[in-house]
Structure 1
Amino acid sequence: MRTSYQYRLKPTACLAEKIDKTLDMLRYQYNYQLAQRFDWYEQNRCSIDRCSLVVCHIPELKDKPNRFSQQATLIQLKKDRPWYKEIHSQVLQEVPKKVELAFDRWLKSDTNGKKSGKPRFKGQCSYKTFTYPQFKREHFANNKIVLSKIGTVKVIVHRQIPDGFDIKSVAVTKKADGYYVTLSLDDKTVPTTKLDFKVDNIVGIDLGLIDFIVTSDDERIAAPKFLRKAERRLKSAQRRVSRRKKGSNRRKKAIKKLGIQHKKVADTRKDFHLKTANNLLKKYDVVAVEKLNIKGLAKSRLAKSVNDAGWGQFISILTVKAENAGLKVVAINPNGTSIECSRCGTKVIKLLSERKHNCPNCKVNLCRDMNAAIIIKNRGAHDLKAQTMSSMRSL
């Protein structure tokens, strides 16, 4: 089982300066290697049988930079710029890996077939994480962690690492309110499937903006609307930033305070999602959810409310927690869940303002969100049964 624990670091002023310097040097190298990729793309993107509007002659084709060729140049980099020797070699080798991931997602796509936008050069203070891909367990003990080429840093250990878990990698991140370390843990002894898994213990949940969740058992959790409640404080902090002179120390302090306010909203939302997911998985073995087009909804007139609800983050947390517990999350097709009758299947067209489902055929009368949750549960049970049958046939 793979999981991650995040702890807050309490570095001294000297160690904090080293971390900032490391991030800044890694940012320069990231931008340089990304520029190499862009140069290769501009010089090689036109076909040999036609003229490009950008390059008016057929250039000499160059080898495409890749992760390993860019890693090989780091040896010469340390000779030309000896201050890069202050960075651990594996930390520096992670930069070409990041560049390749960002570049390939733009030109090709990720594992799900989705393309990303053109990668951007990192501005000042926008490169915030570096990773040690290998780490020894004994370097994290007595509320302290030893970061190679940086030093020994105090850690606030709010929870102990369980016995049997190995530390696979360590990531150091600079956030608005300080520095954090994320430990990637692995324990191969934990079973991936729960032995007493009950397929019939299933619930359907309907995500909404008024009620964050309505279950098929008629349990409701009101939408907390963290961003809406914090809007006044955020506007005040943003106003202070806009009034400060660009480049001044007062503006930097105002930006830091604004970042802390945004982080507080994000943290409270994530805490709410974690607790909600835990409560669901304590009661049910299978949770059925809609496969929503959240990016599309975030471009509608309900964009602020959709982003404030954070459905995507919640579904991601719910899925990961279910996998770690050996439980199941089933994503179903959302088409027709808001108009179909959960009892007879008749399609009842309703306006968004109509919050009740009244079926003229079977005379059922209930909340439209609960009606949708029951349909989601039924579809989830059907899909789960089909998956079970197909897996049995394959065996």
Structure 2
Amino acid sequence: MRTSYQYRIKPNKKQREIIDNTLDMLRCQYNYQLAQRFNWYEQNRCSIDRCPLVCYLRGLKDKPNYYNQKASLTQLKKDRPWYKTIHSQVLQEIPKKVEIAFDRWLKDDCNGKKSGRPRFKGVGQYKTFTYPQFKRHHFVGDKITLSKIGDVKVIVHRPIPDGFTIKTVSVTKKADGYYVTLSLDDKSVPTIKPDFNAENIVGIDVGLIDFYVASDNTRIAAPKHLRKTERKLKSAQRKVSRRKKGSNRRKKAIKKLGRQHKKVADTRKNFHFNTAKKLLNKYDVVAVEKLSIKGLAKTRLAKSIHDAGWGQFLSILKNKAENAGLSVIEVSPNGTSQECSNCGHKVKKSLSQRTHNCPVCHTSLCRDLNAAINIRKRGTHALNKKAQSMSS
């Protein structure tokens, strides 16, 4: 089982300077290697999609890739000795990040979609670096030893479970301070708990009025974290826009705005964790819709959808279910609101119509509850089909 724990760290003044300088140097190297890729692409691309059978091809330059960009780091330290203050493996993560970003732009993903053109990182936009290897004895008590930085105090709000080994450590600078994220692994943890009950299943339908409605008619109202703090955010944003660019007062206003946004994000994330925990404490299987959240976020309801954070909630729910030996099943969302949960008759209704009234079986209930019951039925069908395939 793979999981991650995040702790806040309290570096001293000198250590904060080292972390900030490291992030800035890594940012510059990221931009430089990304520019190498763009230069190669522009010099060797061809806008003509057809050519004669016999034609002359000019010599192509060597394509920058992970290995030759990684090998160039040795010369980098000779030309710029201040890069020796960065741990070698931390510096080697840069070519990997550049290759991932560049390949996502040129190649399709599994769904045939491409990512946007990678952007150069501005000052303060590169916020994380990773140690790909870490020894457990470097984290003892409330101290963690980071290479080239030293012993840093950690606020250990929860201990690392027994049996887990630390695989990687990432240092992140956020609006309210510095954090370390430990990636933990324990292969002895079972993927499914022994007393797993496949019949203890619930279907949930996420929404904007109610955050979710379950098939047992339990519901949680949408908290609307962003909407409730819009006035404070608007005031903080107004202060930033009124400050002179480059001034210390503007920098302070930007930090204050960043802390406000982080508070909203942390409150939303805490709500998602608590909601997922309540569901998994009660049920062994949770059936959800396989939503295209990116597509929905381009509609006129984009702000409310981003505020609800469905994508983050479903990701947290899946991770917690996997760690607990439980299951989350994604089903097709087509027709869950239109199909009658009692007789299966399709009843077309607009989004503003919040009650499901079936003319065939005269079933009348909440639109979201009807969808949740249909989701549960589809989840049960998917479980049975999976069990049959495994038995055969």
TM-score, normalising length from structure 2? 0.97
Aligned counterparts, 1:339-358, within 5 A: 339-358=338-357
1-structure distance, mates of 2:110, 2:165: 27
- Could you tell me how far 1:160 is from its partner in structure 2? 0.6
Taking the TM superposition and a 5 Å limit, the aligned residue runs for 1:332-371 are 332-371=331-370
Residue of structure 2 in register with 1:30 after alignment: 30
Judging changes above 3 Å, is the alpha-carbon distance between structure 1 residues 302 and 47 closer, same or farther for their aligned structure 2 residues? closer
Question: Aligned with 2:166: secondary structure?
Answer: strand
Q: Equivalents in 2 of 1:257, 1:26: separation in Å?
A: 25
Q: CA RMSD in A?
A: 1.4
CA shift for structure 1 position 114: 3.5
Aligned to 2:206: 207
d(CA) in 2 for partners of 1:66 and 1:386? 44
* Cα distance in 2 between the residues matched to 1:368 and 1:41: 52
- Fraction of identical pairs, as percent: 75
**What are structure 1's unaligned runs of at least 5 residues?**
52-56
1:47 offset after TM fit, Å?
Answer: 6.9
Q: Does 1:331 align with 2:330?
A: yes
Aligned residue runs from structure 1 range 234-245, under 5 A: 234-245=233-244
Matches within 5 A, 1:132-151: 132-151=131-150
- 1:390 is aligned to 389
Aligned counterpart, 2:220:
221
Partner residue, 2:292: 293
Q: Distance in 2 between matches of 1:368 and 1:110?
A: 35
Matched letter for residue 45 of structure 1: R
Instruction: State whether structure 2 residue 26 is matched by structure 1 residue 19.
Output: no
1:44 and 1:59 in contact (8 A); partners too? no
Aligned pair in 2 of structure 1 residues 174, 346: CA closer, same or farther (>3 Å)? same
Letter in 1 for 2:358: C
CA–CA distance in 1 between the matches of 2:112 and 2:166? 31
Counterpart mapping for 1:267-286 below 5 A = 267-286=266-285
Report the secondary structure of 2:229's partner residue: helix
Q: Which moved more, 1:101-110 or 1:203-212?
A: 101-110
1:85 is matched by which residue type in structure 2? K
Q: Which amino acid aligns with 1:84?
A: Y
Structure 2 stretches of 5 or more lacking a match?
A: none
Give the match for residue 129 of structure 1. 128
Contact 1:245 1:251 in 2 (8 A): yes
Instruction: Specify the code of the residue in structure 1 equivalent to 2:194.
Output: L
Aligned to 1:54: none
After alignment, is 194-203 or 39-48 more displaced?
A: 39-48
Structure 1 match to 2:192: 193
Give how far 1:383 is off.
1.2
Structure 2 counterpart SS, 1:68: helix
Is the Cα–Cα contact under 8 Å of residues 43 and 59 in structure 1 kept in the other structure?
no
Partner of 2:83: 84
For 1:50 and 1:289, locate their aligned partners in 2 and report how far apart those are by CA, in whole Å: 47
Deviation at 1:46, TM superposition (A): 1.2
Query: Offset of 1:351 from its aligned partner?
Result: 2.1
Distance 1:29 1:384 in 2: 49
CA displacement at 1:41 relative to structure 2: 0.8
Q: Letter of the aligned partner of 1:28 in structure 2?
A: C
Asked if 1:379 corresponds to 2:363, the answer is: no
Does the aligned pair in 2 maintain the 1:129–1:173 contact within 8 Å? Answer: yes
Higher mean C-alpha deviation, range 154-163 or range 107-116:
107-116
Distance change in 2, residues 1:379/1:49 (3 Å)? closer
Counterpart of 1:98 in structure 2 is: 97
Aligned to 1:264: 263
Q: Relative to 1, partners in 2 of residues 1:130 and 1:164: Cα closer, same or farther, differing over 3 Å?
A: same
**Secondary structure in structure 1 of the residue aligned to 2:228:** helix
Amino acid in structure 1 at the alignment position of 2:273: L
